[in-house]
Chain A
């Protein structure tokens, strides 16, 4: 049972294709796991397609007068139909600490080979489009914990497998958790978990000795 979902604004921006790669990947992966949001997304995409391709008359008229598209039309019609659908439907599989996970399709071309580890925490850094954002797959072994921390920006966690708890709640696979700088939390996991996280600024740790970890906050997330 998925209890935490992206809000409608985020879903709509995802449908429009106007989010960053890191965020839009998280939404795509959530929708693959969550039939409720998948259905919403389908409806929103239909509605937005209608707005963009049926209703947008004024802007289109304006451009059309100055541009001649005849050559393009004719050159396209010379092409022969493609006989394959270039769909590659295999999903991404990652292995970490002896566990194998099948990831949502959005990750297919994004996963890398290497995990960096620190105790029970393993991290695979993924590509992001925007300079400050960090996107990672984060694996926490059973019994693992991340020191209490706050965020300078927002932190998105999409739980892909397993469970974890913080001061607020217990989370399960598919949960989409967005926290901002008002939140302090100490996530820990009993059974181990795999998450996709996007933070748009490095984490800051707040508690005692773990403040020492601040310089390596970047290393974990």
Chain B
């Protein structure tokens, strides 16, 4: 038993996704303070820090998975819950309002709400998302909707300026929402090619955008 335990904790480190912040991760998870979690999330919000996100991911994903297993019973649904919750943490980090509560409370709220809606969908075939009406998520109010359309339009214009091969990949991933693997088989190119074209395309897009914002 002792032996199995130690193998388990070793495999935690053997996984790629926890290696970003090694000295940090060698502490026991529960030693991470609320303050540190907040710093990580704010760094994701402000600078899209991948390493800090990866750290938050490795910290929270297994716990969300455990919660999902308890509530949703099946592995697939529990994984969906991890995906939906952690996607919101990545895409909405900037909406987190530290004055209104702790990071754990924010993430828990997202997780509980998504889980509630998923259960309704599975058990009663309901497609609505009532949970955010029932438990409001504390977020900073943003009024950027009109700008968002403009941004989308502007972005689309710039996507048109990309070389055709990169354009194809960027459109496939972001507009058709295909996975990289799906796109690779669809276009009959190796996955690595998809990855590198996507990377090139995004770098190019960024430089176009920067030029236009100056």
Seen from chain A, the residues whose Cβ lies within 8 Å of a Cβ on chain B are 16-18, 21, 24-25, 28, 42, 45-46, 48-50, 52-57, 59-65, 67-70, 72-73, 75-87, 105-110, 129
For residue B137, which residues in chain A have a CB less than 8 angstroms away from its CB? Answer: 87
18 A-B pairs (CB sep. < 8 Å): A17-B113, A28-B133, A45-B109, A50-B104, A53-B64, A60-B62, A60-B66, A69-B61, A70-B15, A72-B83, A73-B61, A76-B86, A76-B90, A77-B90, A84-B142, A84-B148, A106-B134, A129-B124
| Interface size in chain B (residues, C-beta < 8 A) | 75
Of residues 102 through 146 on chain B, the ones whose CB sits less than 8 Å from some CB of chain A are 102, 104-105, 107-109, 111-113, 115-116, 120, 123-124, 128, 130-137, 139-142, 144-145
B91 adjacent to chain A (CB < 8 Å): yes
Of B12, B124, B139, B174, the residue contacting A64 (CB under 8 A) is: B12
Name the residue of chain A whose CB is nearest to the CB of B202.
A78
| Contact A84–B145 (Cβ < 8 Å) | yes
Q: Known A17-B135, A63-B65, A105-B133; judge A49-B92 contact (CB<8 A).
A: no
B16 at the interface (CB under 8 A from A): yes
Q: How far is the CA of A76 from the CA of B95 in the complex (A)?
A: 17
A-B contact count (CB 8 A): 161
Task: Check if B190 is an interface residue, CB within 8 A of chain A.
Answer: no
Q: How far is the CB of A90 from chain B (nearest CB, A)?
A: 10
**Smallest CB–CB gap between B144 and chain A, Å?**
5
* B58 surroundings in chain A (CB, below 8 A): 73
Q: A85-B141, A129-B124 are in contact. Are A28 and B104 (CB under 8 A)?
A: no
Within 8 A of A (CB), among B48-97: 48, 50, 53-54, 57-58, 60-67, 69-71, 79, 82-83, 86-87, 90-95
Contact between A48 and B65, CB atoms less than 8 A apart: no
Distance in angstroms from B154 CB to nearest chain A CB is 12
Tell me the minimal C-beta distance from B40 to chain A in angstroms.
14
User: C-beta contact mask, B26-53 vs A, less than 8 Å → 1, else 0?
Assistant: 0001100000000000000000101001
CB contacts (< 8 Å) of A107 on chain B: these are: 133
Interface centre among B101, B105, B148 (most CB of A within 10 A): B105
- Contact residues in B for A84 (Cβ distance below 8 Å): 142, 144-145, 148
Measured in the bound complex, the distance between the Cα atoms of B120 and A24 in whole Å is 13
> A17, A50, A82: which contacts B91 (Cβ < 8 A)?
A82
Whole-angstrom CA separation of A18 from B113 in the bound complex = 11
Do B82 and A54 touch across chains, with their CB atoms under 8 A apart? no
Q: Are B65 and A21 in contact (CB under 8 A)?
A: no
- B135 lies within 8 A of A28 (CB): yes
Known: A85-B92, A85-B95, A109-B130. A72 touches B108 (CB 8 A): no
